[in-house]
Amino acid sequence: MKNKKDVIIGETKGLLEVQATSQAVAETIVNISGESEGIAIAVAFASSFSAGSLTLIGFENQGIIKTCEKADTVKGIASGEASASAVASAAATAIAIANDTSSATAISSATAVAEAIADLTVVGIDNLGKIDTGEGKDIVMGKASVFAVAETFAESLALAFASTDKGEATAFANAVASATAHATATAIGIRGGEFNLGDGNDAVNAITAGDAVKIGIQDAYIYGGKGNDAVNVVVTGGGVNIGIQNVLIDGGKGNDTFNLQNGSGDIFGGKNEDLLILEGHFVDYKFYDSDRPFGVHITNADNGTDLFVSEVENFQFTGDSGITYAYMDLYSIG
């Protein structure tokens, strides 16, 4: 019996909503006659604090997964939205009425405070163990998308009214409303663990999108093995875009392609002709000598790139269309 290809797919989506509502009402009324004196003070304070966190994972591996010899697929897809809303309302009313020769004083103060915090993490593939795809043209894909929304509404109303005939009337009203909302979100395509791609022309694809912090691959070790393998990262949207973060990639044997966009980690091309692709232009980066074989330390302070690269023969930059730089072309080394 022939082995069939393995297809492992996990998908999830979710919504994190955090709300905080605060209302404070203070009211004083002084209405006196004759030659008397009256004073009334009302103070109201209300506060509301609400916080929530949520992690969504498309596919989670806590052990060892080993697929067969065919063209296998391991895929994790996760999407989520974080919403934080805060509403604060404060109303203060002070009424002082002095009849005849009386004295009336009314003081009213209201304060309302509301704060909401939402923290969402979305992960396509969360690998706590090892994924070994064996032989064949295999695909590992982690896809995560996230959006964050923060809304606030604050309303304050202060009303002071004083009335007198021959006496003295004083009215003072103060209302303060404060509302703050924070919605933070992080999308990670592939997180953690070890990936052994084995033999064959395999691909690891990490895709993240949204308007918050987005990371293609984080805290992972990828070994390409034999074959012309590819590690592709696509991070799009507003906010912070990080291609890889603390990642070790060993291409093994074959003409491998590392399309990483930006980020931090160690890249070993291995045997044969390998290609590293980064975003932007050649002139955006600084290249420093390294004691590794065919080694170079590549940095870019603007996009957070800090890569230690060795045994990679060719380099491309997405802003320099159609140009391939050989290792020896990195004239800024040293």
Write phi, then psi, for 95 (nearest 5 degrees): -125, 125
- The SS3 call for residue 167 is coil
State residue 3's pLDDT score.
59
* Alpha-carbon distances, residue 178 vs 87, 160, 229 (angstroms): 8, 21, 55
What Rg do the C-alpha atoms of the chain give, in angstroms? 31
- Give the tokens for residue 14: 């979710």
- Give the tokens for residue 162: 């004083």
8 A C-beta contact, residue 118 and residue 83: yes
- Give the tokens for residue 191: 């997180």
Output DSSP code: residue 199. Answer: S
State residue 2's pLDDT score.
54
Contacts 24+ apart (CB under 8 A), 167-170: 167/98, 167/99, 167/100, 167/101, 167/102, 167/103, 167/104, 168/98, 168/102, 168/103, 168/104, 169/96, 169/97, 169/98, 169/103, 169/104, 169/105, 170/96, 170/104, 170/105, 170/106
The Cα–Cα gap between 104 and 132 comes to 84
Beta bridge partners of 76: 10, 142
State residue 296's pLDDT score.
94
- Give the tokens for residue 193: 């663990």
Output DSSP code: residue 162. Answer: E
**Residues, the chain, total?**
334
Is the CA virtual torsion 324, 329, 330, 331 positive or negative? negative
Write phi, then psi, for 254 (nearest 5 degrees): 125, 170
Please report, for the chain, the start and end positions of each structural domain, with discontinuous segments joined by +.
7-238
- Give the tokens for residue 315: 């380099």
- The SS3 call for residue 319 is coil
State residue 188's pLDDT score.
98
- Give the tokens for residue 55: 């992690």
Q: Mean pLDDT by 10-residue block, N- to C-terminus, for the chain (334 residues)?
A: 74 97 97 91 97 98 86 94 98 95 95 98 97 89 97 98 92 98 97 93 96 96 93 95 97 95 96 95 92 90 96 95 90 52
